[in-house]
Amino acid sequence: MRAQLLPSPHHQRLLAVTVSRLCAGGFLLLTTLVPARTALLGWTPVFWLLAAPLIVLLTLEPGLPRQLLRRRLHRLHVVHTVHGVIWH
């Protein structure tokens, strides 16, 4: 069995900053405080507000998409099982 390495405080802080920047960028784009595309900058606001923090997040936690997918599939399996028990 592999030993679990605890993330360092620097890693956790970097992860928190990246997630908060990703959430703030999404909020800015959703509330149209910053347009997604401009004539002068093109798609640069979308890149710096969403794509760049997402790239950093995936670099810090490369297994995150797999964990989220596994959690979602598990939740769907549980809901399907409960649905089957209720209706059969």
pLDDT digits (tens, 9 = 90+) for 4-15: 556 688 888 988
Q: pLDDT tens digits, residue range 71-81?
A: 777 666 655 55
- Calculate the alpha carbon distances from 87 to 14, 67, 71, 76, 78 in Å: 47, 30, 24, 16, 14
What's the rounded Cα separation, in Å, for the pair 66 and 15?
17
pLDDT confidence of residue 41: 86
Residue 87's pLDDT band (boundaries 50, 70, 90)? low
Does position 51 have pLDDT exceeding 90, yes or no? yes
* Overall average pLDDT of the 20-45 stretch: 89
